[in-house]
C-alpha cells in the first residue's frame, strides 16, 4: 500500500506553531522569575485577604480581589484605598520591594522579549534550535545559501542556519522567517552542536570555499556519521571524487549547473527548472505545438521514445494532464512541459514551431 503523502502545513498554522514554540522557549527561559511572581501574587494576596478578614477590611472580589491587589502593589499600581489596619498597610510597602527583587531576576526582560523578538540574542537562537529534531542544518547565508533557505522555508521544511558573519546582508531576511541562526565558525564542533547536527536529518554546506565546505562536512559526519550531507563544490571533478572518498551524499558544482542554463538561454530554450541526475544536468522546459508541427497527430509515447525525453505535463485549453497517458494523441495548441537535455529541448522547440 502506498503511503499517503503528507499535506503541507497551512501558512497560518505554521506561523501559529512557530509562535507557540517561540513563546514556550521564552517561558522556559524565564520560568523561575515567573514562578516567583506567581508565588508572590498568590501567597501575598492570600495573606492580605486573611488579615483583611480579621480587620473586616476585605477588598472587593474576595480572594481574587486580594490576588489582584497584590499584583497591583508589586508593580506600584495599587487600586485600593490605603487601609487603616497596620498589618494591611505594611503590604503597600512590602509587596513593591518584593516586586523590585523579582524584576531584578528578569521579569522586565521577559516582558520586553515577549513583545519584541528582535531583542533576543545568540543564546536565544541556540535555545530555539534545541527544540528542532530531524531538521536541516544550512551552513552559509550567501546568495546560494539564501536561495536554499528560501526554498526550504517555502517547502515548510524546518531548518537551522549557521552563519559566520551575523551582520551579513541576507541574515535579517532569514531571521524574519523566525528561523534560528547560530553565529559562529561551522568548523568548530560546538557550533555544529548548537545547531543540532546530532539531531538533524540533513546538512547543507553552501559557503564559497570548497576546502572549507569539505572540512565542515567531515566535521559534521564525525558528530553524526549517518547524516545526509549536501555540499557545494565549484570544481565538478573534485566534487565527484570527494563524494566517493568521504561518503558525502551529494556535491553540486555551481558552475556545472549554471553552464547548461546559459547554453539553454542562448539556444532560445525557456528554462523552468534544472536538476543534476547521475552527473548529467537535465532541464525542464515548455513548448506549444503549432498547426505546422510534425508532432501533431502523434502519441505521447511515440514522441518520448523517438526523442528520448519525458513529457511530464500536457495542457490543452483549460485542462492540464500531469503525466499524460502514452496513447494520448497530440493536437495543435497543446502546451507540453518536457524534461530532457538542452540539445533535445532545442530540437523539440523547432519541431513544435514547425520550423
Going by their DSSP bridges, the two strands 271-277 and 310-316 should be labelled as: unpaired
Phi, psi at 110, each rounded to 5°: -60, -45
Q: CB count, 10 Å around CB of 9?
A: 12
Cell numbers given for 26: 521564552
How far is residue 129's CA from residue 35's CA, in Å, rounded to a whole number?
24
Q: How high is the pLDDT of residue 351?
A: 93
185 neighbors 164 (Cβ within 8 angstroms): yes
Q: How high is the pLDDT of residue 306?
A: 93
Q: How high is the pLDDT of residue 269?
A: 62
Q: Which runs of consecutive H residues, i.e. helices, occur in the chain?
A: 11-29, 31-55, 62-74, 86-89, 91-102, 108-115, 122-129, 143-154, 171-175, 189-194, 210-223, 236-246, 254-266, 300-307, 342-353
Cell numbers given for 242: 570527494
pTM of the model: 0.56
Residues of the chain with pLDDT under 50: 1-9, 11
Q: How far apart are the first and last CA of the chain?
A: 47
Q: How high is the pLDDT of residue 108?
A: 63
Q: How high is the pLDDT of residue 268?
A: 61
Q: How high is the pLDDT of residue 88?
A: 87
How far is residue 314's CA from residue 317's CA, in Å, rounded to a whole number?
10
Q: How high is the pLDDT of residue 1?
A: 35
Amino acid at each position: 500500500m502506498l503511503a499517503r503523502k503528507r499535506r503541507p502545513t497551512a501558512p497560518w498554522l505554521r506561523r501559529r506553531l512557530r509562535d507557540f514554540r517561540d513563546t514556550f522557549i521564552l517561558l522556559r527561559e524565564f520560568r523561575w522569575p515567573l514562578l516567583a511572581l506567581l508565588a508572590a501574587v498568590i501567597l501575598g494576596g492570600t495573606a492580605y485577604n486573611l488579615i483583611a478578614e480579621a480587620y473586616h477590611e476585605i477588598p472587593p472580589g474576595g480572594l481574587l480581589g486580594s490576588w489582584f491587589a497584590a499584583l497591583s502593589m508589586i508593580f506600584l499600581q495599587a487600586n485600593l484605598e490605603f487601609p487603616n489596619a497596620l498589618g494591611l498597610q505594611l503590604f503597600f510597602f512590602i509587596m513593591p520591594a518584593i516586586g523590585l527583587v523579582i524584576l531584578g531576576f528578569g521579569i522586565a526582560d521577559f516582558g520586553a522579549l515577549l513583545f519584541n523578538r528582535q531583542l533576543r540574542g545568540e543564546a536565544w537562537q541556540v535555545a530555539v534550535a534545541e527544540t528542532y529534531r530531524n531538521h536541516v542544518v544550512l551552513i552559509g547565508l550567501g546568495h546560494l545559501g539564501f536561495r536554499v533557505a528560501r526554498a526550504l522555508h517555502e517547502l515548510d521544511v524546518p531548518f537551522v542556519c549557521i552563519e559566520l558573519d551575523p551582520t551579513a546582508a541576507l541574515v535579517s531576511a532569514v531571521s524574519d522567517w523566525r528561523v534560528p541562526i547560530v553565529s559562529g565558525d561551522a568548523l568548530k564542533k560546538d557550533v555544529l552542536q548548537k545547531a543540532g547536527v546530532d539531531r538533524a536529518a540533513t546538512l547543507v554546506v553552501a559557503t564559497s570555499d570548497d576546502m572549507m565546505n569539505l572540512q565542515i562536512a567531515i566535521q559534521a559526519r564525525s558528530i553524526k556519521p549517518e547524516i545526509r550531507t549536501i555540499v557545494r563544490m565549484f570544481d565538478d571533478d573534485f566534487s565527484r571524487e570527494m563524494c566517493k572518498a568521504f561518503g558525502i551524499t551529494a556535491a553540486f558544482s555551481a558552475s556545472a549547473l549554471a553552464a547548461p542554463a546559459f547554453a539553454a538561454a542562448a539556444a532560445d530554450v525557456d528554462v523552468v527548472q534544472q536538476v543534476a541526475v547521475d552527473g548529467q544536468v537535465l532541464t525542464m522546459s515548455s513548448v506549444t505545438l503549432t498547426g505546422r508541427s510534425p508532432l501533431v497527430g502523434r502519441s505521447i509515447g511515440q514522441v518520448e521514445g523517438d526523442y528520448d525525453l519525458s513529457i511530464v505535463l500536457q495542457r490543452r485549453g483549460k485542462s492540464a494532464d500531469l503525466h499524460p497517458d502514452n496513447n494520448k494523441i497530440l493536437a495543435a495548441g497543446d502546451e507540453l512541459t518536457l524534461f530532457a537535455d538542452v540539445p533535445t529541448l532545442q530540437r523539440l522547440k523547432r519541431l513544435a514551431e514547425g520550423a
